[in-house]
Amino acid sequence: MEQSKTNKIILVTGACGQIGTELVKFLRQVNGSECVIASDIKPETYDLLKEGQYKFLDVLDIVSLEKIVKNCGVTHIYHLAAILSANGEQRPLQTWDVNMTSLLNVLEVARLNNVEQVFWPSSIAVFGQASPKNNCSQLAIHDPSTVYGISKSAGEYWCRYYYEQYGLDIRSLRYPGLISHSAEAGGGTTDYAVAIFHKAITEGAYECFLNEHTNLPMMYMEDALRATVELMEASLEGISKITSYNIAGMSFTPFELATEISTYIDDFLITYKPDHRQRIADSWPYIIDDNQAKQDWGWTPQYNISTMTVDMIDKLNRIYSTRANENRSQLNIASNKLESS
């Protein structure tokens, strides 16, 4: 195991989710693998176990959460556990309970145990029909149309409350749709932008659940990870928004993304069959104004739709090639066993 690079002990909840899967790896690279504890209610994965600790944790269980924080000497918490927008609409009361109770548990445990910093992700889902669609500003009105968005809006003010009442250092970003090559889609309205790459590579075709002209804010995961850590490392004196920062990467439609993919995958075919997620997407802004983040802590994205598409296709081709080779090896082993028996 590598030597510690920091005195931090970091706990990541929801570590098996879309963001957590990659954030744990990123934090271990930055801080040292032994300093980052991954936790979730899902079975641990080899990737999470091979370089550091994994703890089974239901964040609705405040006793278990506090036990881990105390016993491990946790100094920083990245609280990612949540039910996302599209899945949340199927289970609204459970979504509210999971998203809000877990946040309040984290804030209370952090307050009572002198945790130095908490990171909690908000979302563009706090905005809605009454919010500006073009260049939606940092202080634009919240008008969430989903339980997920309602929970994120309420959560922002709980974070501010704990900062103002107790001095708890809480940082937050309003993530747009996130695109990752390492994790499958997690039940969000913007997840077509992940699924489309997998289907393009494996099947050469994709049926999109949004219409072709649905313009939404997106961000490549590499940018999201960097933004998260940069915000957490920024001086508190420069942080003007405790609720949550608008953050932007790029905006595009399914048609525009499919056009980019077609540049690298011949004969790729996309069709459109909008479902209940279209209503959610239509309520969100299509361009986010993140000037406050740029001004306060120097945020700037590095990926656009073209550079993101090239990297996604390259990384996923490698992943699928590796899987195919592993499957062939397993078949050969099984065949040899049969022949020798």
User: CB count, 10 Å around CB of 82?
Assistant: 28
In angstroms, rounded to a whole number, what is the distance separating the alpha carbons of residues 272 and 251? 19
pTM of this structure? 0.90
**Which residues are within 8 A (CB) of 143 and not within 5 positions of it... i.e. 6 or more apart?**
127, 128, 129, 130, 131, 283
Q: What is the pLDDT of residue 98?
A: 95
pLDDT at 2: 43
Over residues 91-95, mean pLDDT? 95
Q: What is the DSSP string of 175-194?
A: E-EEE-SSS---S-TTTHHH
What's the confidence (pLDDT) of residue 85? 83
Distances (CA, A) of 47 to 39, 265, 312, 340: 13, 29, 20, 34
Q: How far apart are CA 4 and CA 320, in angstroms?
A: 33
The residues that are catalytic are 148
Is residue 4 scored above 50 in pLDDT?
no
Q: What is the DSSP letter of 98?
A: I
Of the candidate ranges 12-16, 141-145, 325-329, 336-340, the one whose mean pLDDT is the lowest: 336-340
User: Does the pLDDT value for residue 234 go beyond 90?
Assistant: yes
Q: Token pair of 83, please?
A: 């039910």
Longest dimension (CA), the chain: 71
Mean pLDDT of 123-143: 96
Mean pLDDT of 11-28: 93
Task: Identify the structural domains of the chain with CATH numbers, from first to last.
Answer: 82-317 (3.40.50.720)
Question: Rounded to whole angstroms, how far apart are CA atoms 169 and 159?
Answer: 9
Average pLDDT over residues 258-284: 96
User: How far apart, in whole angstroms, are the C-alpha atoms of residue 329 and residue 31?
Assistant: 36
Q: What are phi and psi of 271, to 5 degrees?
A: -125, 165
Averaged pLDDT for residues 194-202:
96
Q: What is the pLDDT of residue 88?
A: 87
**Per-residue pLDDT at 3:** 42
Which is more confidently placed, 331 or 222?
A: 222
* Contact residues for 278 (Cβ-Cβ < 8 A; gap 6+): 209, 210, 211, 214
- pLDDT reading at 311 higher than 60: yes
Share of the chain above pLDDT 70, in %: 91
Residue 164 has pLDDT above 80, yes or no: yes
pLDDT at 148 over 50: yes
Residue 185 confidence (pLDDT) above 80? no
On average, the pLDDT of the chain sits at 92
pLDDT band (50, 70, 90) for residue 84 = confident
